[in-house]
Structure 1
């Protein structure tokens, strides 16, 4: 993988991970109730779940590369279209406050928090669909596939780890921000533009 492709992957990973979703909400809830280090156990569970989702997605992508290069190209463009759709949907989404409920959090043991984080990510079907849209954009079928998969996985997981830990550490301040409808509306638009720009950069690489 050439550096320019990896850099595009790195920037796309930030746009993907920073958008508030189930993992971000769970991280903020853990940070609010337990603090940094117990919350970090939940984040580790999120990352393990994310890695398994990645492996499952890679199996599908690898099968397509092996059986039909044309289908692989089609999937790449479908993935770009899906990301643009997500960006437009995020940009136009109505203002709604993100609710962080700490009442359902388990007792503060590292094992229970880890398992909760794992279940949050592994049971999120949108994560697998999203990965199926993203992974093909950065894979060169003519290059060493395993090395590319490992690099993509490490990049996505490392960025997600940093951002989720950030959500844990800054939970109180972030929750206050996300309860402000004006700020939420701006955040939606920013994330929407980020998704669209990421998709357009992927499309440019595919040309």
Structure 2
């Protein structure tokens, strides 16, 4: 444990990370969709992108830009609606995802480029202004302003990333197992459209977010 962060503070933050990461959200939906569509090994690249977006959010808060986002209605609205449109785009992509007959011994097709999956995860997290404002409200509670902030933010970022990687591995792996159980085109189509509905629901929830409520 870094000498600039007490064990008690870190354990409290670790618990908070698990609670937040396990809570269903756009990142979890994207991880499950990636595992379903591409299998674990390929689909997990999406989780890497989610962590890059998470690190970007922490960096924004650490740099003080988060305070500007929290007070600027225009910046908040622009980022929010970009996120809404991107989630709707993912819903459309998932709805139109191709289906095919899967043999019991077949492995998931190695479709989906790693860079594309990384960028998908990054954009999902980076385009959620509510998450930045949430971090702006929560992270200071685990910071000691009398100690070097860079070291504390580093510990916070590493803890969040490690926990989220574990959780997203669970979501991705679970969905990749489901893929092997799908035998008919109808089953695959139902699951694809179910995830499309989840993406659309996430977009709807983000659209309802107002700056005054965070």
Q: What is the TM-score normalised by the length of structure 1? A: 0.62
Alignment CA distance shift 1:150-1:105 (3 Å): farther
2:133 paired with 1:129: yes
Unaligned 5+ runs, structure 1? 64-98, 180-207
CA distance, structure 2, for counterparts of residue 4 and residue 115 of structure 1: 35
Q: CA deviation at 1:103?
A: 3.6
Unaligned 5+ runs, structure 2? 68-90, 99-110, 179-190, 192-214
2:153 maps to which residue? 149
CA distance, structure 2, for counterparts of residue 115 and residue 105 of structure 1: 18
CA distance, structure 2, for counterparts of residue 113 and residue 123 of structure 1: 15
2:33 maps to which residue? 29
**Residue of 56, 62, 73 corresponding to 1:58:** 62
Matched ranges for 1:71-150 at <5 A: 102-103=94-95, 108-150=112-154
- Aligned to 1:35, what secondary structure does the other structure show? helix
Alignment CA distance shift 1:104-1:160 (3 Å): farther
Q: What is the TM-score normalised by the length of structure 2? A: 0.60
1:85-133 per-residue CA deviation (whole Å, 9 max, x = no partner) reads xxxxxxxxxxxxxx9x734679511111111111111111121112112
Kindly tell me the number of residue pairs found equivalent between the two proteins.
142
**Residue of 46, 51, 58 corresponding to 1:47:** 51
Q: CA deviation at 1:139?
A: 0.3
Alignment CA distance shift 1:171-1:159 (3 Å): same
Q: Please say if residues 51 and 122 of structure 2, whose CA atoms lie closer than 8 Å, have aligned partners that are also in contact.
A: yes
CA distance, structure 2, for counterparts of residue 13 and residue 115 of structure 1: 23
CA distance, structure 2, for counterparts of residue 115 and residue 59 of structure 1: 23
- Aligned to 2:147, what secondary structure does the other structure show? coil
Alignment CA distance shift 1:105-1:160 (3 Å): farther
Q: CA deviation at 1:33?
A: 0.9
Q: CA deviation at 1:172?
A: 6.1
2:173 paired with 1:169: yes
1:90 maps to which residue? none
Q: Please say if residues 66 and 136 of structure 2, whose CA atoms lie closer than 8 Å, have aligned partners that are also in contact.
A: no
Q: What is the RMSD computed on CA atoms of the aligned residues?
A: 3.0
Larger Rg: 2
- Aligned to 1:111, what secondary structure does the other structure show? helix
